[in-house]
Amino acid sequence: MKIIYEDNHLLVVDKPINVPMQEDSSKDEDLLTIAKRYIKEKYNKPGNVYLGLVHRLDRPVSGVCVFARTSKAAQRLSKQIQNHEFKKTYLAVIEGEDILDKDCLKDYLLKDSKTNIVKVDPKGKLAILEYEVLKRKDNLTKIKINLLTGRSHQIRVQFSSRNHPLWGDQKYNPNAIIGQQIALHSNSIEFIHPTTNEKMIFTSDVDRYPFNI
């Protein structure tokens, strides 16, 4: 786990691929547990360590994410998310090159709680994102995404429903080969510091195929 930034209120880290944000049925070590252990050992804290999970990344997704080190910070960051003041951008590589240079995608997404599969459905919740194309090559397109709502599997489903699934997406791309790593990366997060009111921007670069097409 790479530490990007930390103070008494925040811990910003670069999440590795295939690490769950919190404990799941796999019982694999999760990022929340790793981060709590880091704080406990570094600051020699007795007892349980508080660390608030204010947003999530899917297990196969890498990149920048933030934890709150106090309940007050967690509450204020969560409020920013609710008010759409917590800005997140992603890098992704989708299959196909026949896509507009930039666009705003709007869909209603519904999640099946039994299968954990998300689909476009008028009964679902509104999902909105903006994107712009960065590069096209070999029937792949690298894009930058501004996520305006934070629905489960939103980016993956919105592009797969338009026949442009993310490269390597084992869940929503029928062409994905077992062992491929989904081409989705949390590139930057921008928010207001919960106590100083300073604008904070944190980024995480990625240099693995197919991002480096």
pLDDT by 10-residue block (mean), the chain, 213 residues: 95 96 86 96 92 93 97 97 94 98 98 94 97 98 96 97 97 94 97 97 96 95
Q: What is the pLDDT of residue 91?
A: 98
What pLDDT, on the 0 to 100 scale, is given for residue 61? 95
- DSSP type of residue 166: B
Q: Specify the amino acid at residue 186.
A: S
pLDDT for 23 equals: 84
What per-residue confidence (pLDDT) applies to 26? 81
d(CA 40, CA 144): 36
CATH of domain 2-203: 3.30.2350.10
Instruction: Look up the pTM and report it.
Output: 0.94
- Which of 67, 74, 52, 51 has its CA nearest to residue 15? 67
